[in-house]
Structure 1
């Protein structure tokens, strides 16, 4: 029997129960009898959330005296684990599970097998439906599918009969009328203020069981056609030009919209007897459960795109089309959502959308790429927003520091506005420095370059007055693509970047994927089994092993730079032979293109990133082979301290101004003296004013930083006398003060150098 047939058989009988005049408890008692009989199971039980505990509400097979007596906390026992994780359990031997707890009053000691599914209401588990059997066996997939579909019907029965508290089901506490500060992860930095606007009004499903399956199927078909038309129109009117990364994002989004597997699963749910709305929600619940099982952040982001489409489809089929975007923003708004797809963000009025707060979200999500291009600050990973922020609440968003304040007091508003005004004033000062070269007071020219990774980033270059692109992250194109970018697409991107940069240099870092930047279309056992991905199969290691990947990129870069100078930098070099192996790939492509009579670059300058501490021990062998060396402070720091920067417990533990790091950097700088190799810094460290002072004092003369940091760093460079600064830094490193950060800040303050 198929899953649809099994579910349909149960739903047909449940329909009679739902339509009967029985009271709610009587209906639940009938439901457990029906499921137990249909699945040939000796036990079927329903637990519901009441006063924060999961209470046994109905059972077939366990002791009747345990009903309304047995209670478990969320996370307690197998039932509590299902509710806590919103996941399905299917066990041949329940007692073998580490979370198993025996409750003597139920008389369940003779039962071995156990299967349970969460009863989900408004995206939260409000109960558990479970079955048990004497014989040890795993339940068949069709039985689990039937249980999951039945749980959805139970959700309707529970809500209609007020068997659970509405506020408790939503996980809400009474709305606080006072100010509330929330914290999250800065995804797109910036300051903004406005009224809280929830992106998506909650869609209520009034009917779960279908009267006519064919009618429901036709409703879904029409909704799919309308949704696909909407996506096609969005792709046509995207505001970011032709051929950019945003176009690739929308193409990936479009691919999901036309996915036959997704529509097939919805049809199967309709076959089981669900309405169109319930079928879409049923498949969406399965998607959410899958997302909780996926550790790969990039794959999770792609699943978010699919959830975005499911929400869109559900709104269309239900006729509940009123989103904040379609209704229109009435004033300055801070948009709030669990997550957003890129297409949904593009629907908003850019003049009134000032910021976004997401319950989820990550730096690699498609929507963040679009938000960055729109210049909209985004704060992510903020939990429990609906319990804190009400529609219309005034919000101050500080995505620079990863916070937002709802319902702020007037003094807080005044302080924020003062900071906002100061920020605008500072930006005006930095704008005046755009065309001024950054010379120190003692006359030394410092190169202040910017980091980039998208085609649109290059437009920032003339606006901030950077000396060039000190780091172009070529992997961004790979991360936003649904498939491995072919040579022609890579060539077009690199050519466009060089064209936009004009006569300013662009240092292309060859693809740095792997680690926390795994690609869904490049699945390898090395990724899946890598317990320490930051120090695993990634960057140059991966590129050298997959020679075709580096070969294609080398040829695309060489052809794109025809008639110009090309700067190529290899990431995560550990030993000189790795640099030589990578350079050999480029040399072979040069030879090939020369034979093809192709126009070549005027010159190719090769460099390496020093991120792995081991490379510092062999610089004497590497320096004669390279033109430039860039120290990648982000990875270098975590390797020096054996501290994963992705671990929130360690992220802020180690200071860039610790003597250990500064002494290491001094040794690297001293090793390059007289070598003719251009030495620079790539990473966040160089973009912070206090840290930049330390780097200048160590002998670094090229800083590659985020575009927003270019102005502040140019300003501080012009206030420094390097001879005085170098002497101070040497003194601090010889006899480190108790607080290096305070020592440098005090030195700067004495000279009127602002380091905030």
Structure 2
């Protein structure tokens, strides 16, 4: 076999270069190509399947029966070849027929071949065919062989496209009618603007290099220019001093200087590719890796690398005209497949009204930055770049995760009325900012906010909240490239406390692991089918005590002279709380001995998310200063319903009598012990649900900043005593539809539900 991917690929590419220059039919060229690849890779079979009439047709082969050419056809997703094309991924199998997607085609005579390797032939991000090799002996192909196949497939895409051997790619829609598209809510808010594409696709015209050293010099020059741009953006980011956004940009910068990335591009040039083709080749490899990664956080790191690849490709091709560089001439909605945080920061915030992505996720760095900028974002809007045209009017509804392209006048008017109503309501809620959360019968409720960024703490006073009832300390861990040290944590916690002033802040210790896995803290034994119920939160912290000790010392020192309020997540039994508290108290004693700054006092709390803890409250309550109920996790655990499963997302109602009875029992037990109870989670941020919670005896909430106004308006229109009396009757004999019963009661009593 060839010793290196570069050697085998270069040998084939040289032959392909000569072949493309010949005067011959497209079919003759394909027949020569499979012979060339088979000989260079010492392969018994080499086949090319091309997309024609939405079927993958065997178009050329070396080793299979020639009579099967143009006869054997597979649908997208059918068989091994169809799976590769549909999913855009590589298959490398020692025994082809052991794969669940294997489909036998007797006319090919392939039954005598065991091993199989196939790679997609990609053109403009879509698979247009598959290149496959086979051997009689069962074996997995070496990495260098797969690398060579991928490089050759890339050059083949140029030959195939130029010869018009496949169906045309997806075309932009030309109809002028409105199109409504659903996506994923990433950043809330509503926006209207003209469609602007983040970047025109750089089409690679030449893949085979004439002079590899000249191509290498072009890449080196592009790397230098790209790094200068990243350094400039890092310096100019308008997010103040230390904070999460700077850490995001530092992580982004780390990729820009990654030697492994530049080395892989160099290796691709060594194989005979042009600078543009080498960057695209490595980018395709990154995309293939992303499809194999289940960890969403690691996928976001890959998205950052892809973002940089696009930037490098534009520089080396001399096509730097992104919408950010050319400037936004009017109110705009940005459209992109994906977007990196640094690229988002390049846009004029006065003109950028919204963002629509074909990909994107809630944990993406770009999402975090967009939320801080106040820009609505809807993600996972498939094919948006092929539905919308430059300049089309786009309506973005980040509250519901929908996008309307080319709306009619009626749709636009209705949308603008909703926007105006939303702005009017926000103004009404803002007028309540400095008013107390007091019911009509004189009961004072406490409205605090959930936070995870330093910027959230800075905006605390704008929300008119009583403090931060849940500061998610794991956010700093989720966006960092490596484990944040004690000093880094200390700076963040001090910044949050300073921003909150005299208002209380409750820090939740890190809730990582499980479905919030960190690449730098994860190994194979950590993987689980149901991560929400796995090795996470306090379970992880009690095993990796070094992590918790560092956080404890940072919190203790940051709270110098103030009250430190700390709570532990996912407590299942009292002994877990006891161990966590003892660890904090040991660090407090150490800090005192070392003459380090210490808090005036520490208040300890536990989060009730796991139902088992409710059965042990008699043991726990005498030891805690407060109890926080995490309704998001509690609901999924009570109903054994994974909240990440879309089939179950709407099935179990927060206003179910089962939940309300459970909460009433907990509140009564805590009240008897003199322990305050707070609800943290989305349930408390909805006016009707918050009214029901008041009805079971809860008067302390920690909710999103945007929910403070609507919930405060509800509280100021509610008779708490009447609500409790009504809830007692409803829970004694639950109606068929508890939500409707509560809504009707609220309407009769003029309770403001928004």
With structure 2 as the length reference, what TM-score do the two structures score? 0.98
**1:471-511 deviation digits (Å, cap 9, x = unpaired):** 00011111111111111111111111111101100000111
2:151 corresponding residue in structure 1: 149
How do 1:440-451 residues align onto structure 2 when only pairs under 5 Å count? 440-451=439-450
- Of 685, 693, 697, the match for 1:695: 693
Change in CA separation of 1:559 and 1:139 when aligned onto 2, cut-off 3 Å: closer
Asked if the contact 2:173–2:388 (Cα under 8 Å) also holds between the matched residues in 1, the reply is no
Give the distance between the partners of 1:147 and 1:635, measured in 2 at CA.
Answer: 46
**1:114-136 deviation digits (Å, cap 9, x = unpaired):** 22111011111110111222333
Give the distance between the partners of 2:733 and 2:140, measured in 1 at CA.
Answer: 67
**1:308-365 deviation digits (Å, cap 9, x = unpaired):** 0000000000111111111111111111111111100000010010111111111111
Give the distance between the partners of 1:113 and 1:722, measured in 2 at CA.
Answer: 72
Give the distance between the partners of 2:24 and 2:531, measured in 1 at CA.
Answer: 57
Q: Secondary structure at the match of 1:605?
A: strand
How do 1:162-181 residues align onto structure 2 when only pairs under 5 Å count? 162-166=164-168, 169-170=169-170, 172=171, 174-181=173-180
Give the distance between the partners of 1:595 and 1:101, measured in 2 at CA.
Answer: 71
1:419 corresponding residue in structure 2: 418
- Of 623, 629, 632, the match for 2:630: 632
Gap regions ≥5 residues in structure 1? none
Gap regions ≥5 residues in structure 2? none
1:606 corresponding residue in structure 2: 604
2:722 corresponding residue in structure 1: 724
Asked if the contact 1:627–1:676 (Cα under 8 Å) also holds between the matched residues in 2, the reply is no
1:185 corresponding residue in structure 2: 184
1:132 corresponding residue in structure 2: 134
Cα distance, 1:173 vs. partner? 7.2
How do 1:273-292 residues align onto structure 2 when only pairs under 5 Å count? 273-292=272-291
2:520 corresponding residue in structure 1: 521
Give the distance between the partners of 1:382 and 1:165, measured in 2 at CA.
Answer: 24
Change in CA separation of 1:746 and 1:52 when aligned onto 2, cut-off 3 Å: same
**1:266-314 deviation digits (Å, cap 9, x = unpaired):** 0000000000000000000000000000000000000000000000000
2:751 corresponding residue in structure 1: 753
Cα distance, 1:60 vs. partner? 1.7
How do 1:205-220 residues align onto structure 2 when only pairs under 5 Å count? 205-220=204-219
Report the number of matched residues: 752
2:298 corresponding residue in structure 1: 299
Cα distance, 1:154 vs. partner? 0.6
**1:252-274 deviation digits (Å, cap 9, x = unpaired):** 00100000000000000000000
Give the distance between the partners of 2:358 and 2:471, measured in 1 at CA.
Answer: 30
Q: Secondary structure at the match of 1:443?
A: coil
Asked if the contact 1:526–1:537 (Cα under 8 Å) also holds between the matched residues in 2, the reply is no
- Determine whether 1:540 maps to 2:542: no
Give the distance between the partners of 1:136 and 1:720, measured in 2 at CA.
Answer: 73
Cα distance, 1:635 vs. partner? 0.3
2:711 corresponding residue in structure 1: 713
Q: Secondary structure at the match of 1:674?
A: helix
Asked if the contact 1:192–1:354 (Cα under 8 Å) also holds between the matched residues in 2, the reply is yes
1:96 corresponding residue in structure 2: 98
Give the distance between the partners of 1:682 and 1:572, measured in 2 at CA.
Answer: 13
* Structure 1, 669-678 or 605-614: larger mean CA deviation: 669-678
- Of 659, 674, 696, the match for 2:672: 674
Cα distance, 1:43 vs. partner? 1.8
Cα distance, 1:24 vs. partner? 1.4
2:554 corresponding residue in structure 1: 556
Cα distance, 1:105 vs. partner? 1.9
Cα distance, 1:690 vs. partner? 0.7
Asked if the contact 2:46–2:131 (Cα under 8 Å) also holds between the matched residues in 1, the reply is yes
Cα distance, 1:174 vs. partner? 4.2
Give the distance between the partners of 2:398 and 2:136, measured in 1 at CA.
Answer: 56
Q: Secondary structure at the match of 1:755?
A: coil
Q: Secondary structure at the match of 2:222?
A: helix
Q: Secondary structure at the match of 1:340?
A: coil
* Structure 1, 222-231 or 379-388: larger mean CA deviation: 379-388
Cα distance, 1:108 vs. partner? 2.1
1:109 corresponding residue in structure 2: 111
Q: Secondary structure at the match of 1:335?
A: strand
* Structure 1, 385-394 or 633-642: larger mean CA deviation: 385-394
**1:546-569 deviation digits (Å, cap 9, x = unpaired):** 111111111111111111111111
Give the distance between the partners of 2:685 and 2:100, measured in 1 at CA.
Answer: 48
Give the distance between the partners of 2:524 and 2:270, measured in 1 at CA.
Answer: 38
Asked if the contact 2:458–2:496 (Cα under 8 Å) also holds between the matched residues in 1, the reply is no
How do 1:314-329 residues align onto structure 2 when only pairs under 5 Å count? 314-329=313-328
Give the distance between the partners of 1:548 and 1:189, measured in 2 at CA.
Answer: 37
Asked if the contact 1:176–1:388 (Cα under 8 Å) also holds between the matched residues in 2, the reply is no
Asked if the contact 1:175–1:387 (Cα under 8 Å) also holds between the matched residues in 2, the reply is no
Asked if the contact 1:335–1:356 (Cα under 8 Å) also holds between the matched residues in 2, the reply is yes
Cα distance, 1:220 vs. partner? 0.4
Asked if the contact 1:179–1:405 (Cα under 8 Å) also holds between the matched residues in 2, the reply is yes
Give the distance between the partners of 1:90 and 1:510, measured in 2 at CA.
Answer: 43
Cα distance, 1:666 vs. partner? 0.9
Task: Give the alignment's Cα RMSD to 1 decimal.
Answer: 1.2
Give the distance between the partners of 1:372 and 1:173, measured in 2 at CA.
Answer: 30
How do 1:1-400 residues align onto structure 2 when only pairs under 5 Å count? 1-166=3-168, 169-170=169-170, 172=171, 174-400=173-399
**1:564-586 deviation digits (Å, cap 9, x = unpaired):** 11111111111111111111011
* Structure 1, 592-601 or 55-64: larger mean CA deviation: 592-601
